[in-house]
Amino acid sequence: MSSSATLKTAASLPQEVARRRTFAIISHPDAGKTTLTEKLLMYGGAIRSAGTVKGKKSQQFATSDWMEVEKQRGISVASSVMQFEHDGCVINLLDTPGHQDFSEDTYRVLTAVDAALMVIDAAKGVEAQTIKLLEVCRLRRTPVITFINKMDREVRDPLELIDEIEEILGMPCAPITWPIGMGKQFAGVFDLDSERMLKFTPGESRPETDLEVLEGEDHPYLVEHFPIAHATFKEEVEIVREAAESFDHEAFLAGDLSPVFFGSAINNFGVRDILQALVSWAPPPRQREARQRTVRPDDGAFTGIVFKIQANMNPQHRDRIAFLRICSGEYRQGLKARHVRSGKTIRLDHAITFMAQERAHLASAFAGDIIGIPNHGRLRIGDVITEGEVLELEGIPHFSPEIFRMARLNDPLRAKQLNKALLELGEEGTIQVFEPLEKTGMILGAVGQLQFETVAHRLQTEYGVDAAFESVPVHKALWVSSEDAAVMKRFTQANANRLARDAAGALAFMAPNRSVLDLTIEKWPEIDFNSTREVG
């Protein structure tokens, strides 16, 4: 195989763009996201042995100074974007942090990808974090591939799992493979199209290419060794063939149908199917709308948008990494670029790419790729960088917060600084800030607890403000709008005590609980209640 360096110099921009696949893995914690990531990287030849990605929590990826700091924080920048090659494609895999790292950034990652891979734990089915993340995919009509993991365990009925995905997530499913048995009786998966079965053998490090393929639904091996599993499988396949959707590429690309694969990540089983689906079905980088024009990925000039900022938690360093998705053209080291918000010229000298093999200061990267730009706070979420043109790309949306707090000052004399700091952090996208129409004090909204910790830390280190957070009786904030100005006015008057303005001045309904929200939505049919607010 030719090296990536040879390919890079040999191929033209449209070719480079066409071979890129940029996707995020979404799942609930413990479904197997890390394990699957590791196996995908092994296929890409990016890592040699299992355990490397897990090692992100320790030393493995930390190879430079700025990463030292991330290590202390326990979150690795390096493992949040991983690039590898497979079958002629350059694959960018973006992590969606979960657990205590869940924040608005987790959602924003989904604005930087062209497809998503959803991992479901077959014993647990659809779980809370998956529901939230898939909602964002649905909003953006992102194509979703589904991997139902842990078939080597006693898990739930596969038909029931498909029903659950369709019902709870509202995502029609097209099974591509179907499992034969589960747990100790897991015989393998059957490819519904080619009518071949991939025989399951447990083992972590065995390459999947070694697996045995058996022809047909009634192979003597199955009938003899797995008679019960085989009988159940036959019944299920009949139902699937009659009742399930069949795969339709257009519907998948429109985000209306998800191809479903079964497997076991830890046993490296079913992983190759996923990679194949990514390469063959997932879209190459898509065009983006800007106020001025449509930005096509193979436009010659460089355009990118910042979708995530990783702030340094070490008070000694104010540097941070802005994650930028290249929307068009090519990044070359030393590129003189325009920072559209400020109108200033910046030189992109030390952008970082995220090849899983090694962290590298790359000479070039193309539309679809992600680069990290070290900076001292100049770059913010939603910022656009071009080769000189003034382009306002469709912004990164704000997502409806779910945790609310009010900042309480430990030193009341610092009130002015607190207000200034919160507004700045709000503008930056670290947290959402809401100013109630009728009350004083600012309400902070986040989707993850980590965001408050970040704010408290930055208040202290960057603004010298010592603040604590206390809870407020807000359950959910939804942005409100109406095409009818008179209705909007009446609504605003009637609900002034529950309305607040966010950092951009947009009006949000701050519901104290679920039932008030439901009643208000029912009472005001001409008002739109939105769970995202597009910016830009």
Q: Mark the binding-site residues for GTP, compressed into ranges.
A: 27-34, 95-99, 149-152
Q: What residues contact residue 105 under an 8 Å CB cut-off, 6+ apart?
A: 97, 308, 309
CB 217 to ligand GDP: min, Å: 24
Q: What residues contact residue 356 under an 8 Å CB cut-off, 6+ apart?
A: 41, 44, 46, 47, 82, 83, 84
CB 260 to ligand GDP: min, Å: 16
Distance (Å, rounded) from C-alpha 76 to C-alpha 74? 6
CB 381 to ligand GDP: min, Å: 25
CB 516 to ligand GDP: min, Å: 35
Q: Given the complex with ligand GDP, which of 184 and 416 has the nearer CB atom? A: 184
Q: Given the complex with ligand GDP, which of 203 and 464 has the nearer CB atom? A: 203
CB 148 within 8 A of CB 122: yes
Interface ranges with ligand GDP (CB under 6 A) = 27, 29-35, 149-150, 152-153, 264-267
User: Per DSSP, what are the bridge partners of residue 322?
Assistant: 309, 373
Residues contributing to the annotated binding site: 27-34, 95-99, 149-152
Q: Given the complex with ligand GDP, which of 211 and 301 has the nearer CB atom? A: 211
CB 99 to ligand GDP: min, Å: 7
Query: DSSP secondary-structure letter at 436?
Result: E
Q: Given the complex with ligand GDP, which of 30 and 163 has the nearer CB atom? A: 30
Tokens coding 485? 């100005």
Please state, as a whole number, how many other Cβ atoms lie within 10 Å of the Cβ of residue 254.
11
Q: Given the complex with ligand GDP, which of 117 and 478 has the nearer CB atom? A: 117
In terms of DSSP bridges, do strands 303-311 and 320-328 run parallel, antiparallel, or are they unpaired? antiparallel
The strand ranges marked E within 224-349 are: 258-262, 288-289, 294-295, 303-311, 320-328, 330-332, 335-339, 344-348
Q: Given the complex with ligand GDP, which of 150 and 476 has the nearer CB atom? A: 150
Dihedral over alpha carbons 450, 456, 460, 461 (to 10 degrees): 20
Distance (Å, rounded) from C-alpha 289 to C-alpha 286? 10
CB 52 to ligand GDP: min, Å: 12
